[in-house]
């Protein structure tokens, strides 16, 4: 009689299942026990690939960042490259918002995250930005992109108009924001991005200090 086939466990498979859990249920859903159950293996077998749960979450975060397109820094001027990269980064994180708190801790030793940071910083340096200012720009863009993906502005308001009617007269239409969530949130991100880039261009041209 043939032996039953055993599940082939790989780092990639662990990351795929962990990523699906994070997307569906959040970071708190990931545990070695839960992953082992989902993968159909014994818990200790995961430790052959990852030392801790945090290492697994790091790998999930890096797999997400690896999807961000940074190629524009090799083909476009710095302003257009920033715009294209930020839009790609924003789209990727909005598709996987539950992993953003891990990304917000910084790149650490994650290969894809470090490669992205290296490309962005290098592109700005090659465009003539001083190292300190290039660092500021990279940090600013990270705040903008990650912050915009972390939560919805429009979705943060109650849909009951009575909440605002008497005590908050300037918010009398706030209950309508939720139904326009996509246009409000995306519009705010685009406005922020274009404002930043316009300001940086003015700085490069000597209009701003």
Per residue, the 3-state secondary structure of 127-189, as one string, reads CCCCHHHHHHHHHHHHHHHHHHHHCCCHHHCCCCCHHHHCCCHHHCCHHHHHHHHHHHHHHHH
User: What pLDDT does 185 receive?
Assistant: 95
Measured between its terminal Cα atoms, the distance across the chain in Å is 79
- Coil vs helix vs strand at 96: coil
Mean pLDDT of the chain: 93
Q: In the structure, what pLDDT confidence band is assigned to residue 44 with cuts at 50, 70 and 90?
A: confident
Spatial CA neighbour of 142 closest among 73, 193, 183, 185: 193
Rounded mean pLDDT, 134-148: 96
Q: In the structure, what pLDDT confidence band is assigned to residue 165 with cuts at 50, 70 and 90?
A: confident
CA angle 112, 15, 58 (to 5 degrees): 50
DSSP conformation letters of 55-81: HHHHHHHHHHHTTS--GGGGTS-HHHH
The structure's pTM equals 0.90
User: What pLDDT does 206 receive?
Assistant: 83
Q: Dihedral (C-alpha) 35, 36, 41, 43: value to the nearest 10 degrees?
A: 140
């Amino acid at each position: 009689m043939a032996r039953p086939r055993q599940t082939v466990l790989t780092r990639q498979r662990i990351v795929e299942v962990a990523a699906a859990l994070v997307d569906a249920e959040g970071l708190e859903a990931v545990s070695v026990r839960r992953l082992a159950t989902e993968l159909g293996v014994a818990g200790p077998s995961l430790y052959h690939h990852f030392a801790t749960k945090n290492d697994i979450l790091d790998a999930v975060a890096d797999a997400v960042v690896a999807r961000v397109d940074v190629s524009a820094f090799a083909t476009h001027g710095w302003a257009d490259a920033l715009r294209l990269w930020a839009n790609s980064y924003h789209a990727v994180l909005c598709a996987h918002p539950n992993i953003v708190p891990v990304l917000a801790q910084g790149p650490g030793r994650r290969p894809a995250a470090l490669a992205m940071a290296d490309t962005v910083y290098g592109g700005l340096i090659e465009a003539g930005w001083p190292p300190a200012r290039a660092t500021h720009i990279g940090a600013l863009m990270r705040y903008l992109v990650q912050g915009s993906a972390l939560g919805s502005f429009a979705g943060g308001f109650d849909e009951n108009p009575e909440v605002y009617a008497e005590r908050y007269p300037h918010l009398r239409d706030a209950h309508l924001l939720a139904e326009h969530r996509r246009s409000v949130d995306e519009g705010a991100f685009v406005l922020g991005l274009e404002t930043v880039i316009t300001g940086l261009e003015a700085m490069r041209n000597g209009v701003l200090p």
